[in-house]
Amino acid sequence: MPAVLIAGCGYVGAAAADLFHQRGWTVEGWTFSADSARELSAKPYAVRAVNIAHHGEVIAAAKEFDAVIHCASSRGGDVDTYRRVYRDGASNLAATFPCALLCFTSSTSVYGQTGGDWVTELSAAEPHRETGRILREAEEIVLDTGGVVARVAGIYGPGRSALLSKLLTGTAVLEPNERFLNQVHREDVAEALFFLVQHHTRTAAGKRVVERLIYNVSDDHPFTQRECYEWLAATLQRPVPPSVRNSVERKRGNSNKRVSSEKLQRLGWSPRYPTFQRAMTESILPALQRSGPQNIAV
């Protein structure tokens, strides 16, 4: 039975850990804090508090795994936190588990394009922000081991949607430019991670990696911010957000691009939720009705 370490058992990591367990893998999850580990203590697999930015803690907790997935979150931290979690975390995991397939959940924010063009894994990944450059450093560490980089679009799912949260709280605004949004449902991210790990652990035996294993993970239909809010407003019978003259400064930069996941789909993965509208209708809004609007997070 193959074994996987989920280093970062948060919103995406816990979903991935559940999926690997359901598919017959031996799973261990790591979280940053003991409190988070206790919250997950009822899971049918071990969850431990291990700070992946601390080399000694990683060494002390190490055991044999066929695959290691780095999907820890910076928890909205500053540049130094980014550096510790992503770059240092990737370095520590790569050094500690040299025989495992290392998979890193990066972000499509590494693409700095601003003209609304389609981007693929062959497009320039030259982010304007320091946080994006740190992600690129972490990617290179993983790629140098022959590992897999999953560049994930904006993640949403049950209990989490920045776009929906802003509309419900009245903080949403329509920016003057037609900026494209790239989104992907949490369930589709978990499925993509399982698919990539399963595929590359199976094909890597005895083979030298000659390509850089980078994959975009996004749904099939990028759409503009205006299209998003107009659809949400009509669906929820709320006013369309007001327009503003100036673009809003965003934490991950003011890029504008359409992200293609064709490479991953050619390999055999396909999103269960190919559009934001379908995911909202079938997954997010039903969960919101059950839990109440106060429980939707950004």
Q: Which residues contact 102 (CB under 8 A, 6 or more apart)?
A: 67, 68, 70, 90, 93, 94, 142, 145, 147, 148
Least-confidence region, from 52-61, 144-153, 287-296 = 287-296
The dihedral built from the CA positions of residue 199, 205, 207 and 208, taken in this order, carries a sign that is: positive
Q: What 3-state class would DSSP assign to 67?
A: strand
The pairs formed by 17-22 with CB atoms below 8 angstroms and a separation of 24 or more are: 17/43, 17/45, 18/43, 18/190, 19/190, 19/191, 19/193, 19/194, 20/194, 20/197, 21/45
State the Cα angle at 138 between 70 and 198, rounded to 5°: 40
Least-confidence region, from 67-81, 117-131, 166-180, 238-252 = 238-252
Which residue carries 């946080």 as its tokens?
A: 131
Strand pairing class (180-181; 223-224): antiparallel
Burial class (CB in 10 A: 0-12, 13-18, 19+), 16: buried
Distance CA 48, CA 156 (A): 25
Distance CA 2, CA 201 (A): 10
Q: What integer is the mean pLDDT of 121-144? A: 96
CB neighbourhood size of 266 (10 A): 8
Q: What integer is the mean pLDDT of 108-122? A: 96
Q: How confident is the model at residue 147 (pLDDT cuts 50, 70, 90)?
A: very high
Half-sphere exposure of 151 (CA within 13 A, CB side): 29
Residue 205: predicted pLDDT:
53
Residue 237: predicted pLDDT:
93
Q: How confident is the model at residue 245 (pLDDT cuts 50, 70, 90)?
A: confident
Residue 247: predicted pLDDT:
65
- Residue 108 and residue 183 in contact, taking contact as beta carbons nearer than 8 Å: no
pLDDT at 95 over 70: yes
pLDDT at 16 over 80: yes
Residue 210: predicted pLDDT:
59
Q: Which CATH architecture has domain 3-156+185-222+255-273?
A: 3-Layer(aba) Sandwich (3.40)
Tokens at 219, concatenated:
């749904």
Tokens at 203, concatenated:
């094909």
CB neighbourhood size of 206 (10 A): 5
Distance CA 151, CA 202 (A): 21
Tokens at 145, concatenated:
């081991």
Burial class (CB in 10 A: 0-12, 13-18, 19+), 244: exposed
- Cα pseudo-dihedral 194, 199, 200, 202, rounded to 10: 120
Between 176 and 153, residue with greater pLDDT: 153
Q: What 3-state class would DSSP assign to 298?
A: coil
Residue 290: predicted pLDDT:
73
Between 254 and 235, residue with greater pLDDT: 235
Residue 298: predicted pLDDT:
47
Domain boundaries, the chain: 3-156+185-222+255-273
